[in-house]
Structure 1
Amino acid sequence: MHWYEKLRDYFPVEEMKSREHMETLLKERSDIYHKDEGPKHVLMYVETGDFIFIDYLFVSGSARGEGLGGKLIQKMKDKNKPIILEVEPVDYEDTDTEKRLRFYKRAGFQHATSIGYNRRSLATNEVNSMEILYWAPDDESEEVIYQAMKKTYQDIHTYKDKTFYGDEYEPVEKVLKNDREDAEDVLKEI
């Protein structure tokens, strides 16, 4: 199965970039956008001089429990840069959401509670709320994480959006906020 099909079959449609978008990023933004693929995994990530953003991490069901996800995360941690990713809030009807949060908590990730992230999906036209998790080797602040998320949104998520989707994503100022005060730590109860 092609790497894109593995991702498409696992991630919700509102979170997926199109195949053309991702292949173009790999070609035109190969300086920062990367794919690590093996028989049992697909890891799509952004790496700049200052941070890593995990765009997609897929480990096949047959490999779960073998430690592969942890090894991939450790490979990113070994670069000694803040690592950022987006996760769905816990949905108790979808046990995978809780398992993902538990996995990232065990891996040492924190919830960026001050950052709000609500993006309208161009595929479904619905607003999709995500939580930002991060791992910071030098106790970087949530402000550093917020700035890295803004850069990722502008340079990766919205890259040539009109070309690929016939529409533009909302501006970063509308999607990302760094002043959320009422958020509960999604990792606290996990």
Structure 2
Amino acid sequence: MHWYEKLNQYFPIEEMKSREHMESLLEERSDIYHKDEGPKHILMYVELDNFIFIDYLLVSKNARGEGLGHKLLEKLKRKGKPIILEVEPINYEDSDSEKRLHFYKREGFKHANSIGYERRSLATKELNELEILYWAPNNESEEMIFEAMKKTYNLIHTYKDQHFYGESYQPVEEVLTFSRDPKNENLFENL
């Protein structure tokens, strides 16, 4: 099965980029957008000078528990840059969402609870809320993570969006917010 189909089967429609969007990023932004694919995993990520953004990480269900996710993250951590990713809030009816958070907590990720992220899906037209997790090797601040997320949103998420989807995503100022006094709780507190 093609790597895109594997991702498309696993990730919710509102989080998926189109195949054309992702293939264009791999071809036209190959300096920063990368795919690491093996028989049991797919890792799509952005690497810039001062951070790495994981766009998609999929470890096959039959390979979970083998340490593959840990090995993939270790490979990125060795670069010595903050690693950022987006996750869905815990859905207690979906055991994968809780397992995913346990995994990232074990890997040393923190929840950027001062960053709000709410984007309207072009596929479903529904408002989609995501949480930002990050690994900070040098205690990078949430302000730095916020700036990196804005850059990722503009460089990657909205890349040629009008061309691929016939309409544009909202501007970054409407999607990402930063609060010096966060009201939302830390995702990892109740794990």
TM-score (norm 2): 0.99
Question: Number of residues paired by the alignment?
Answer: 190
Once residues 127 and 53 of structure 2 are traced to their aligned partners in structure 1, the CA distance between those partners, rounded to angstroms, is: 21
1:50-98 Cα deviation digits (max 9, x unpaired): 0000000000011000000000011110100000000000000000000
Residue aligning to 1:39: 39
Instruction: Give, as a single letter, the amino acid of the residue that structure 2 aligns with 1:15.
Output: E
Residue aligning to 1:21: 21
Percent of residue pairs identical: 70
How is 1:1-190 mapped onto 2 (pairs within 5 angstroms)?
Answer: 1-179=1-179, 181-190=182-191
Q: Which runs of 4+ in 1 moved over 4 A?
A: none
> Which secondary structure state, in structure 1, belongs to the residue aligned with residue 169 of structure 2?
coil
Instruction: Give, as a single letter, the amino acid of the residue that structure 2 aligns with 1:189.
Output: N
1:1-60 Cα deviation digits (max 9, x unpaired): 100001000000000000000000000000100000000000000000100000000000
Once residues 45 and 66 of structure 1 are traced to their aligned partners in structure 2, the CA distance between those partners, rounded to angstroms, is: 22
Once residues 189 and 182 of structure 2 are traced to their aligned partners in structure 1, the CA distance between those partners, rounded to angstroms, is: 16
Instruction: Give, as a single letter, the amino acid of the residue that structure 2 aligns with 1:62.
Output: N
- Point out where structure 2 has 5 or more consecutive residues left out of the alignment: none
RMSD of the TM alignment (CA)?
A: 0.6
Instruction: Give, as a single letter, the amino acid of the residue that structure 2 aligns with 1:56.
Output: Y
> Which secondary structure state, in structure 2, belongs to the residue aligned with residue 86 of structure 1?
strand
> Which secondary structure state, in structure 2, belongs to the residue aligned with residue 128 of structure 1?
strand
Once residues 164 and 94 of structure 1 are traced to their aligned partners in structure 2, the CA distance between those partners, rounded to angstroms, is: 30
TM-fit CA distance, 1:121: 0.4
